[in-house]
Amino acid sequence: MNKQIQLEDLGNRDYKAVWDYQETLFKSILDLKIQNRREETNHPTPNYFLFVEHPHVYTLGKSGDITNLLINEEQLAAKNATFYKINRGGDITYHGPGQIVGYPILDLENFFTDIHKYLRLLEEMIILTLADYGIKAERSPGETGVWLDVGTPFARKICAMGVRASRWVTMHGFAFNVNADLGYFDNIVPCGIKEKAVTSLNVELGKAQVDEAEVKQKLLEHFKVLFEAEFISLNSVQSPN
């Protein structure tokens, strides 16, 4: 099993361009797995982890309800935002500046074959990172993602998640609000969940800005332990020791 993960920080990139890039990596792993089975070979499958920040964009998962987008095309254009229907699970969400988006493209057969465990470990990575900042975060029963003050009138989501998997290969991932402009969430019913708020790490800490490079390092450190993985850094983000 190959537990090495090729890490790449793409910076600020258009959503569709990165979606296409994900699909290319995803297909390359699937093709190798199919080849291994057809030819009875055992070539190791690669794993990837992409960090990215997107310009303002709304994405609707394959099980989502378009009525959860509360603005029309003209209003989207006025807000310099785009919209895509995509092939992940979940409903509608927002990506934009100040949000750390992570796309692990993994062959789970290199780690474990359990999608629910995969999602729970992604949540745990966020929960542990927030704990590093003195914030108690948790899961909300029946609602994928990471929340604060679950079970109270003040429940609010800080990280959304949605994935796609085929033959145990994953794509899409998580969107962690770190310095996000929360006003953009007013244009949707986030994740299709009504009457629950959204928050960002800088808001919870009472800071104008949180060091996003530091947050990425903490995320990687926790991911490495949870998945018993090793990172190979391809560019600006250095893998944890």
What is the pLDDT at residue 63?
Answer: 79
Question: Residue 173, annotated ligand binder?
Answer: yes
Predicted confidence at residue 191, as pLDDT, reads 64
How confident is the model over 206-222, as pLDDT tens digits? 999 999 999 999 999 99
Instruction: Report whether 197 belongs to an annotated binding site.
Output: no
Q: Is 88 annotated as a binding residue?
A: yes
Q: Which of 50, 191, 201, 229 is catalytic?
A: 191
232 and 47 Cβ atoms separated by less than 8 Å: no
Q: Rounded to 5 degrees, what angle do the CA atoms 158, 59, 56 make?
A: 75
Instruction: Retrieve residue 78's tokens.
Output: 């006025």
- pLDDT of 193 above 50: yes
Dist CA 218 CA 223 (whole Å)? 9
Assigned token pair, 73 = 């095309």
Q: Please, are residues 157 and 199 in contact by the beta-carbon 8 Å criterion?
A: yes
4-233 has which CATH code? 3.30.930.10
Active site residue 159: no
pLDDT band at 189; cut points 50, 70, 90? confident
pLDDT tens for each residue of 133-186: 999 999 999 888 999 999 999 999 999 999 999 999 999 999 999 999 999 998
Q: Is the pLDDT of residue 238 over 60?
A: no
Question: Measured between alpha carbons, how far is 160 from 199 in angstroms, rounded to an integer?
Answer: 11
For residue 23 the two structure tokens come to: 């699909």
> Which range, of 20-29, 81-90, 122-131, 142-151, averages the lowest pLDDT?
81-90
Residue 155, annotated as binding a ligand: no
Where on the phi/psi map is residue 138: left (φ > 0), alpha (ψ -120 to 50), or beta?
Answer: beta
Supply the pLDDT for residue 235. 61
Query: Tens digits of per-residue pLDDT, 3-23?
Result: 999 999 999 999 999 999 999
State the residue for tokens 């750390």.
100
Q: Which residue has the higher pLDDT, 63 or 134?
A: 134
Question: What percentage of the chain reaches a pLDDT higher than 70?
Answer: 94
Average per-residue pLDDT in the chain? 93
Give the pLDDT of residue 91. Answer: 84
pTM over 0.95: no
Residue 195's pLDDT band (cuts 50, 70, 90) = low
> What are the residue boundaries of the structural domains of the chain, listed by start?
4-233
